Amino acid sequence: MLTLFQTKKKHNGVFIAFGKYVWLENKHAACSTFGKGALSRSDPTWLQRTRALTAQTTTNGNELQYLEQLTVNRRRQRRGLQQNESDVERANRILSATGDRNFEEYRLDLYEAFYLLYALDAIRINDPSRQLLSVDDCWMRFSQCVPEFATYYAVYHYYRTLGWAPKQGSKFGVDYVLYRSGPRHMHGDFAVKIMHPNESYDWQTLHQLARVCTQVKKTLILCYAKSPTSTTHPSCLSDFEIRELIMKRWSPEKNREKWVR
């Protein structure tokens, strides 16, 4: 799917400052390793899911299952709930109000958008007034939205060049989750926590983070990113120093040494 962004045709995006994302105008450029649907977990599937919901009365439960719907079904099974007619009626009203058209936006976070612009030259980014933004313009505006943009992007760029697909990882208490082929295909293998030089971390916090990552079957990576003196221009990326440390939770029961007497 990555090849969609490596063609000669450039895709258009609009920088939305208040939301800190770039809206991708061409939905056909959707790729599981970049961005996500505004109403979906990954690829934009809102319209297909809504249509499938309205057709459930005639498909006898054989409709195509999407990730979002599978999650809803599991929760309903645990709670002993069943789908009622109001869900179908609500879906019908939505389709009627939207004219059965897909209004779901496809969003790129700032790091994905800048990578597509700076590293792959596969996208054009405009501001809401349709003024084309250069690489330097995007760097300046993105840095205004996220004060630590340079550091976060340097880490993102580092793992992208190693072949990983970094995704936002706040729900696991980390900065990035690394996927081999994107969340659409498999679970993430690693959870990356960026360690800032000016912040202190106690062992209790790190052990709590390691425990969370262990529970969701991810390996915790502590990523130390040393930034250069000036980060006002993209040229500073070559001066970043990045070091990694893999941290695993130590359990007394599982890791107790066996003394040989």
Domains of the chain: 45-98 (no CATH), 162-260 (3.40.1350.10)
Q: Distance between terminal CA atoms of the chain?
A: 58
Q: Residue 179 catalytic?
A: yes
In sequence order, the β-bridge partners of residue 101 are none
pLDDT tens over the chain, length 261 residues = 344 454 567 889 999 998 899 988 765 555 668 888 877 877 778 888 888 877 754 444 445 567 677 777 777 777 776 666 677 787 888 788 777 777 777 889 999 999 999 999 999 999 999 999 999 999 999 999 999 999 999 999 999 999 999 999 988 999 999 998 777 778 889 999 999 877 888 888 888 898 899 899 999 999 999 999 999 999 999 999 999 999 987 767 766 665 444
User: Distance between alpha carbon 82 and the CA centroid of its chain, in Å?
Assistant: 31
pLDDT in tens, 164-191: 999 999 889 999 999 987 777 788 899 9
Active-site option among 11, 157, 193, 218: 218
Res 230: pLDDT: 93
Q: Residue 28 catalytic?
A: no
Q: How many CA atoms lie within 13 A of 36 on its CB side?
A: 15
Res 39: pLDDT: 79
Beta-strand ranges (E) seen in the chain are: 11-16, 21-24, 36-37, 106-109, 123-126, 132-133, 165-168, 176-179, 190-195, 219-226, 241-247
| DSSP reduced 3-state for 244 | strand
Res 110: pLDDT: 96
Res 261: pLDDT: 47
Res 57: pLDDT: 45
Q: What is the mean pLDDT of the chain?
A: 83
Active-site option among 185, 187, 196, 248: 187
Active-site option among 115, 176, 179, 193: 179
pLDDT in tens, 127-157: 999 999 999 999 999 999 999 999 999 999 9
Q: Residue 218 catalytic?
A: yes
Q: What is the pTM (predicted TM-score) of this model? A: 0.81
